[in-house]
Amino acid sequence: MKIDSKTGILGLFGNPSRHSLSPIIQNFFLSEYGKNCVYLSFEPGSINLKESFNGAKNLRFVGLNVTMPFKEDVFNLVDSADEPATVFRAVNTVRFLPEDNNKAIGCSTDGAGVIKSLEDKKFLWKGKKCLLLGAGGAAKSAAYSILQKPVEDIFVFDILPGKTDYLFELLGKPKKIKPLKNLTDIDERLNEIDLIINCTPAGMNTGNIDNTDLQAVPGRWSLKDKFVFDMVYKPFNTKLIEKARADGASEVIPGIEMLINQAAFSFKIWFEIMPEERLLKEIENELVKSLI
């Protein structure tokens, strides 16, 4: 793509954000669809986040992605937000509307990314029992979206019980959500669990954070015949992914799939174009090579 005076700017706000694969994914989409736009990473400090956000708005950026630790802060800066973002008061995508004084619209594509990743693997929701490990931002998005499906139960565990309770209350204390105080509470019911999603940093290595030695589930658990979904995408083969494959899980979904799917939904918000499946698979294959 040739950069000229009309080239638009998309940005990723996070701290850290330089490790992110989002620029590779989004610039690939931009190139494939011939958009005169470039996607860049930015690392504003917490103290000047509002100033940075307003700078992007005033400079007429096309939009933003937002990652940790700014998702909740940026929610408070947008002019309006979609329903998922409003429920858990966090955004990962912002679209600026040039036709409306660059009004900032906040959205969350994380939940949509979770659902697509599972449905791409033919996961059937009806009557299923799910276990979410972690109750932070990623878990909130997953829980909200899975609640829209005809599942039977969604068990949630976090090492900080207060976070689990907050997620439960935030979503309106739905009967399908079953907060857990201890993972041993699920031991005797493990054979009933159809889907396990790791929403924690266990297994992650970003360079700044190295949790590669951490296992998201107890070693005593058998993951045979379960769908296992790890949101961690770096490294590609986490300890959870390796265990799931060794145990004979029915389907193993690495985090790179969610990353690409939520990115595709962000691209749709900015350009009203959903990237084709062949492009999602092409960029996935390229990224996997760099992660293994």
- Return d(Cα 98, Cα 158) in angstroms, integer: 41
User: In this structure, which amino acid lies at residue 119?
Assistant: E
Task: Note if 71 is an active site residue.
Answer: yes
Helix H or strand E segment including 251: strand 251-253
Helix H or strand E segment including 104: strand 103-107
Determine which one of 71, 140, 226, 234 is catalytic. 71
Q: Which residue from 251, 271, 250, 275 is spatially nearest to 262, judged by alpha carbons?
A: 275
Q: Which residue from 272, 194, 200 is spatially nearest to 231, judged by alpha carbons?
A: 200
Q: Which residue from 160, 159, 157, 284 is spatially nearest to 233, judged by alpha carbons?
A: 284
Long-range contacts of 119-127 (CB under 8 A, 24+ apart): 120/257, 120/261, 121/227, 121/251, 121/253, 123/195, 123/227, 123/251, 125/149, 125/150, 125/151, 126/150, 126/151, 127/151, 127/152
- Return d(Cα 15, Cα 79) in angstroms, integer: 23
Count CB atoms within 10 A of the CB of residue 231: 31
User: Catalytic residue numbers?
Assistant: 71
